[in-house]
Amino acid sequence: MSDLREVVDPLHIEDLNEKDHYSVFYTHKNYKILIIRGFKISKEGLEYRSRGFLFNNEGGFYHYNRGEKDFIQYEKGISDFVSVVEPIYKQNTDIIDSFGDEIDELEDILFERKSHRVFMDVWFDLKKDLSRIERHYTRHIRVLKEFYKHFAKVESFPEQEFHSLLEEVQLSLTNTTHFLARLDAIHHYYSSIKNDRLNKNIFMLTLLSAVFLPLNLIVGFFGMNTPNLFLQNNPNGTQLVFIGLLTSLAISIFGLPVVRFIDYYLLRFFLGKYDIYKKASDKINKALKI
């Protein structure tokens, strides 16, 4: 409808032509414009795709077609509003749910201690996209409420369907906030694991230093050109020193893995997991007795 396009403010037309324009509601003395932003997943990641709608004072409901640069009218008027925009929110919800599935996989990988090198890259991408979605929905809910204030008293306005749609949007925002909280917990746990590994490495290096320092002292001691050294008059002195060095080296090579095995498996089993399940079993038995 070219005559309607001539009535609309050129600045509003410019906003309608913008493919990723943020959600907004414009009021004009001759019409109202609602721009709804939706989500789209591409090879580059999360993208925005907006759609523009116009409502004139005579009750007409129009969709702006960017290709034809014109307004297309819906025959049933504003009563068609929810059915027209519902697919946008359905796609948004599906995308948010897919992010939730990705977070589930991250948690499973982390709990199994099988994190890969790109773990934090995946975490960062999810955090970035979900933060953008949260900002979008926070603004979008205000836009929908403002839109409702202007059309709530219109007789043909689908009020019940609109409230259901608004609840769905609010639920999506709640889920997004929940997913962000889970990502924060994942990051905290991941950092704890990394710090624990770092502390273990420092501990192992300390043990190695404690092993090789005496070796250096032994070698340095028997290498001194002074009289009255230990084993000086012993015909097997060199062999005894050599055996001592080999013993210290064997302890450093085979002793540390044994210590790690005891620490990780035996102590974890007897003092950790076993104790947890034992306590849970005792609670269940007490509950059954009651």
Read off the pLDDT band of 115 (50, 70, 90). Answer: confident
Query: 42-46, 63-67, 81-85, 263-267: which range is least confident on average?
Result: 263-267
| Residue 64 bridge partners (DSSP) | 71
Instruction: Provide the 3-class DSSP secondary structure of residue 116.
Output: coil
Phi, psi of 240 (to 5 degrees): -65, -45
37-51 pLDDT, tens digit each:
999 888 888 899 999
Residue 115 CA to residue 264 CA, distance in Å, equals: 18
For 2-195, CATH gives 1.20.58.340
Residue 240 CA to residue 243 CA, distance in Å, equals: 5
Q: What value does the mean pLDDT take over residues 246-251?
A: 74
Read off the pLDDT band of 165 (50, 70, 90). Answer: very high
Report the chain's terminal Cα–Cα distance, integer Å.
76
Residue 28 CA to residue 13 CA, distance in Å, equals: 13
Domain ranges of the chain: 2-195, 226-289
170-208 pLDDT, tens digit each:
999 999 999 999 999 998 888 888 887 787 778 777 766
Strand order in the sheet with 31-42: 24-27, 31-42, 45-56, 61-65, 70-74
